[in-house]
């Protein structure tokens, strides 16, 4: 299988020859084939069943096919020098290219977070400034995160099936998968959280060796460079999992030192000179919300949260169920394919979201229901991790009114282990399976009613 998949990846790289020279095509082939075989070997070493290896191989080939297609479309809609990249993607690409090709000091560039353009510039210095290398970096990062989160599930449940189900849940989550198909920093934020989870769980399980504290330190530094305002998240994960284990308190001073080192390193490399207060204000800035709501003032969402950035804290809290529901449901327009045929990234980030509505979303809701009913029977670490995940997942809904779901997806990895365990129990337990089926019927009924209301609003308002 590995030889056949490697051959397919090579053939897909050849499609890039329309825009790139032979050297770029060969380097692209080497990067994607080597990364595939490394990940395959990791899954093999972990000793997981053949079905997972087949699922991984199929997903990797489809993902690379979409990346090749997106790169071709970017260059056709734009150019080699200025490719078509929506959002911040183009800015990151141009900054990475600028840093790679000139002697410009990184601290002189006006950008909020240094990490991503800096990593892109290293990639471009080594392999060249072609767009494909940025996308390959993100695909490798995407699958690294999937494997790490799956390992977290196994580490916390000691059930090999949860590794497989975590893998499945993640590849079926559109907003998570979308992190690998655009030049954005989200994948590195998820990497920081994944490394924090792995290290903290191993320390919780009694493996307080140097390597786990080093991994934790790396997680702090990554977060400081890629999202400084979230630098507290890795240490919160550590204390959430290890607070009760008093025999681990000897490691807390080390964690604090690593945390402070991460903050120092992040501030040292910061591209803008901000105080802590400025960083907090920037983190909760709602300019993006204002722009989105103003751009679509007649939209369904705008009808609920118009002028959200000027709401009081009390009002935002009272509307939290609504803004969380908006975040859960966006993007609504999964049925629109016009832009997706033009630029395939929208197929992943928008149309693929139908799988979230049909399976992953209801599984998350059912897991919350399961957590409420059976939390007393759950493992201490699993219980605390899921509770923290729910809080962090809801936080962007409070700050941004639910209008930017990709800001919440970085915390999705904290929810996956219990979701995987619940899905395992659904498969094994007939009583729970019946509850799941009844829950699904009610959920689909509610979605149907919401769809009628939404379409009525679009037609008549």
DSSP codes of every residue in 7-32: HHHHHHHHGGGGTS-HHHHHHHHHHH
The DSSP H or E segment spanning 104 is: none
| pLDDT, tens digit (0-9, with 9 covering 90-100), for 5-55 | 999 999 999 999 999 999 999 999 999 999 999 999 988 876 666 678 889
Residue 420: pLDDT band (50, 70, 90) is very high
Predicted confidence at residue 298, as pLDDT, reads 47
Q: What is the average pLDDT across 90-106?
A: 83
User: Domain for residue 352, yes or no?
Assistant: yes
At residue 253 the predicted structure's pLDDT band, cuts being 50, 70 and 90, is: low
Domain ranges, residue 276: 2-428
Burial class of residue 413 in the structure, from the number of CB atoms within 10 Å of its CB (0-12 exposed, 13-18 middle, 19+ buried): buried
Lowest mean pLDDT among 72-86, 167-181, 334-348: 334-348
Within a domain: residue 439?
no
Lowest mean pLDDT among 38-52, 151-165, 263-277: 263-277
Residue 409: per-residue pLDDT:
93
Indicate whether 178 belongs to any domain: yes
* pLDDT tops 90 at residue 279: no
Helix/strand/coil for 296 = coil
- The predicted-structure confidence for 212-248, as pLDDT tens digits, reads as follows 888 988 998 899 888 888 888 998 898 888 876 544 4
- Residue 42: inside a domain: yes
Does the residue 457 lie in any domain? no
Instruction: Give the chain's mean pLDDT.
Output: 84
Radius of gyration of the chain (CA): 22
Give the global pTM: 0.88
Closest by CA position to 271, among listed 41, 79, 104, 134: 104
- Residues 6 or more apart whose CB falls under 8 angstroms from that of 184 comprise 87, 88, 89, 92, 116, 138, 406
Q: State residue 67's pLDDT score.
A: 96
Would 263 be classed as within a structural domain?
A: yes
pLDDT at 232: 87
Q: What is the three-class DSSP state of 312?
A: coil
Tokens of 242: 């290890």
In this structure, is residue 449 part of a structural domain?
A: no
**105 pLDDT higher than 80:** no
373-392 pLDDT per residue, tens: 888 888 888 999 999 999 99
**Domains contained in the chain, number:** 1
Report yes or no on 219 lying in a domain.
yes
pLDDT of 255 over the 60 cut:
no
């Amino acid at each position: 299988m590995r030889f056949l998949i490697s051959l397919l990846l090579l053939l897909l790289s050849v499609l890039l020859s329309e825009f790139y020279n032979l050297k770029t095509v060969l380097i692209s082939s080497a990067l994607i084939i080597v990364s595939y075989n490394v990940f395959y070997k990791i899954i093999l070493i972990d000793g997981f069943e053949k079905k997972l290896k087949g699922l991984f191989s199929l997903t990797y080939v489809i993902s690379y096919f979409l990346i090749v297609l997106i790169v071709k479309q970017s260059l056709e809609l734009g150019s080699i020098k200025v490719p078509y990249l929506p959002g911040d993607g183009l800015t990151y690409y141009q900054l990475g290219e600028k840093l790679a090709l000139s002697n410009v000091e990184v601290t002189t560039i006006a950008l909020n977070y240094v990490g991503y353009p800096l990593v892109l510039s290293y990639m471009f210095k080594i392999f060249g400034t072609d767009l494909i290398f940025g996308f390959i970096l993100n695909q490798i990062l995407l699958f690294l995160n999937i494997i790490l989160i799956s390992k977290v599930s196994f580490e916390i449940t000691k059930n090999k099936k949860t590794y497989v189900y975590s893998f499945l849940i993640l590849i079926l989550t559109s907003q998570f998968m979308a992190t690998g198909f655009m030049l954005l920093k989200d994948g590195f934020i998820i990497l920081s959280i994944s490394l924090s989870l792995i290290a903290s769980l191993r320390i919780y399980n009694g493996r307080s060796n140097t390597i786990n504290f080093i991994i934790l330190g790396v997680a702090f530094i990554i977060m400081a460079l890629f999202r400084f305002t979230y630098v507290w998240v890795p240490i919160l994960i550590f204390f959430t999992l290890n607070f009760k284990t008093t025999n681990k308190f000897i490691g807390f001073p080390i964690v604090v030192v690593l945390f402070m080192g991460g903050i120092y390193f992040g501030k040292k490399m910061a591209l803008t000179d901000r105080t802590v207060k400025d960083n907090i204000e920037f983190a909760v800035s709602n300019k993006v919300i204002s722009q989105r709501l103003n751009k679509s003032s007649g939209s369904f969402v705008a009808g609920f949260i118009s002028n959200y950035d000027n709401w009081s804290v009390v009002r935002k809290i009272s509307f939290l169920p609504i803004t969380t529901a908006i975040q859960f449901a966006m993007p609504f327009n999964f049925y629109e394919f016009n832009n997706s045929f033009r630029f395939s990234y929208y197929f992943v980030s928008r149309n693929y979201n139908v799988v979230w509505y049909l399976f992953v979303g209801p599984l998350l809701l059912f897991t919350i229901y399961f957590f409420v009913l059976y939390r007393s029977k759950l493992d201490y670490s699993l219980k605390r991790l899921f509770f923290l995940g729910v809080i962090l997942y809801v936080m962007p809904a409070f700050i941004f009114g639910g209008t930017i779901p990709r800001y919440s997806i970085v915390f999705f990895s904290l929810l996956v282990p219990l979701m995987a365990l619940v899905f395992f129990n659904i498969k094994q337990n007939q009583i729970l399976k019946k509850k799941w089926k009844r829950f699904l019927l009610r959920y689909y009924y509610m979605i149907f009613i919401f769809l009628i209301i939404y379409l009525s609003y679009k037609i008549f308002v």
